[in-house]
Amino acid sequence: MVVLNNPESLQEHISLGEVFQSFDDHRIPVIDMLKHDESVSLMVGACEEVGFFKVINHGVPMELMATLEAEAINFFSMNHKEKEKMGRVPNPYYYGSKNIGRNGDVGWIEYLLMQITTNTFNSAPVITTNINCFSRCGLNDYIMAMRKLSCQVLEMMAQGLGLQDKDAFSRLVMEEDSDTMFRLNHYPPCPHADGDGVGCNITGFGEHTDPQLISILRSNNTSGLQIALKDETWVTVPSDNTSFFVNIGDSLQVITNGRFKSVKHRVLANSLHSRVSMIYFGGPSPKEKIAALPVMMEEGEESNYREFTWCEYKMSAYKSKLGDDRLALFHK
């Protein structure tokens, strides 16, 4: 059972003033990983108020990020028929263009989705690549760096919530059969977009929330990503190829009984430049039961959601459209 390190900590809400002090000029929370003690509380505040934050001083070498970006660009520069040979199901690859999912959603996008398996000897994530554009070492080194960063972030969240078990969240993405995905998105320049894409009506990727626990995104220096605040205002996320951006997903919202917010986000097309983004999705084991932790509820309070397995929720999400409220089916 997960218990609180400090029973009073759930009643100690960080003030909005403190949260907004960590925001940049674009209303995006910024978390400095080198300032651990200060960042722990600010991260919890960002998860509660926005469900999204930017991570700086993360320790991931810029060379590692730049190398994988270059390999991704090489892949997306290939002939369309060559890219389509990647297959129609993640085994371990799935290439898609324009169509997003199986339920009619479309966007100004092409992507490569990768299913990450786990090396049972050392629990290191492994992708066996047969795509000439990608070096196996570079791809796996990047994914291992994302796995480490996701665990650091999830442990800081647990600490900030006052949980005695610092692995309460991180263990879910560290299990041998954790359902982890890696996605490369390419948004080509769009001749119908307006300026830098902000305010245009050409959608690269429609508004949605991520079903997993957390997502860690890194992109090149092309804008387009937007997040929705609590008041439904859309805020543009400035491009920054040296930093990472973390999304709270639906599963973590359920586990915290709604205290952390799964952020709605979208990508708008850009008329001048390609946007390349790399997203690591940290999900639990298919059999893992997703439910509000008892310590997330005050005495007498009930869970806002019924219990379900990750497999059940993932299958439900796949049957929905991007903009659907996927958690609505699981509210009590």
SS (H, E, C) 231-244: CCCEEECCCCCCCE
Nearest to 177 by CA among 115, 129, 130: 115
How far apart (Å, rounded) are the C-alpha atoms in residues 174 and 322? Answer: 27
Chain centroid offset of residue 120 CA: 25
CB atoms within 10 A of CB 330: 18
How far apart (Å, rounded) are the C-alpha atoms in residues 52 and 66? Answer: 23
The answer to whether 275 is a known catalytic residue is yes
Helix (H, G, I), strand (E, B) or coil at 25: coil
How far apart (Å, rounded) are the C-alpha atoms in residues 151 and 148? Answer: 5
How far apart (Å, rounded) are the C-alpha atoms in residues 127 and 242? Answer: 24
Torsional sign, CA 167, 36, 13, 240? negative
Q: Which of 259, 266, 275, 326 is catalytic?
A: 275
Task: Provide, for the chain, the percentages of residues in helix, strand and coil under a 3-state DSSP scheme, each rounded to the nearest 5.
Answer: 30, 25, 45
Cα-based torsion angle of the residue sequence 116, 117, 122, 124 in order, rounded to the nearest 10 degrees:
-10
Q: What is the pLDDT of residues 222-261, one digit of tens each?
A: 999 999 998 899 999 999 999 999 999 999 999 999 999 9
pTM over 0.85: yes
How far apart (Å, rounded) are the C-alpha atoms in residues 323 and 100? Answer: 12
How far apart (Å, rounded) are the C-alpha atoms in residues 280 and 47? Answer: 18
Q: How large a percentage of the chain has pLDDT more than 90? A: 67
Token reading at 264: 């709605």
Q: What is the pLDDT of residues 306-325, one digit of tens each?
A: 999 999 999 999 999 999 99
- pLDDT over 90 at 112, yes or no: yes
- pLDDT over 80 at 121, yes or no: no
Q: Which residues contact 68 (CB under 8 A, 6 or more apart)?
A: 138, 139, 142, 278
How far apart (Å, rounded) are the C-alpha atoms in residues 159 and 167? Answer: 9
How much is the pLDDT for 167?
95
- Tell me if 283 sits within 8 A of 212, measured CB to CB: yes
- Give the lowest-confidence range in 107-121, 123-137, 263-277: 123-137
Which tops the pLDDT comparison, 242 or 272?
242
Task: Select, from the ranges 113-117, 129-133, 136-140, 217-221, the one with the highest average predicted confidence (pLDDT).
Answer: 217-221
CB atoms within 10 A of CB 221: 12
How far apart (Å, rounded) are the C-alpha atoms in residues 239 and 235? Answer: 13
- pLDDT over 80 at 118, yes or no: no
Q: What is the pLDDT of residues 35-56, one digit of tens each?
A: 988 899 999 999 999 999 999 9
- Tell me if 26 sits within 8 A of 237, measured CB to CB: yes
51 φψ region: left (φ > 0), alpha (ψ -120 to 50), beta (else): left
Q: Residue ranges per domain, the chain?
A: 30-319
CATH superfamily of the domain spanning 30-319 = B-lactam Antibiotic, Isopenicillin N Synthase; Chain (2.60.120.330)
Mean pLDDT of 120-140: 68
How far apart (Å, rounded) are the C-alpha atoms in residues 252 and 182? Answer: 18
Q: Strand 308-309 vs strand 234-236: parallel, antiparallel, or unpaired?
A: unpaired
How far apart (Å, rounded) are the C-alpha atoms in residues 157 and 46? Answer: 10
- pLDDT over 80 at 9, yes or no: no
How much is the pLDDT for 89?
63
Mean pLDDT of 173-199: 81
- pLDDT over 70 at 201, yes or no: no
How much is the pLDDT for 216?
98
How far apart (Å, rounded) are the C-alpha atoms in residues 309 and 307? Answer: 7
How much is the pLDDT for 193?
66
How much is the pLDDT for 10?
34
Q: What is the pLDDT of residues 62-90, one digit of tens each?
A: 999 999 999 999 999 999 888 887 766 66
How much is the pLDDT for 5?
41
Q: Mean pLDDT score of the chain, rounded to an integer? A: 86
Which tops the pLDDT comparison, 6 or 202?
202
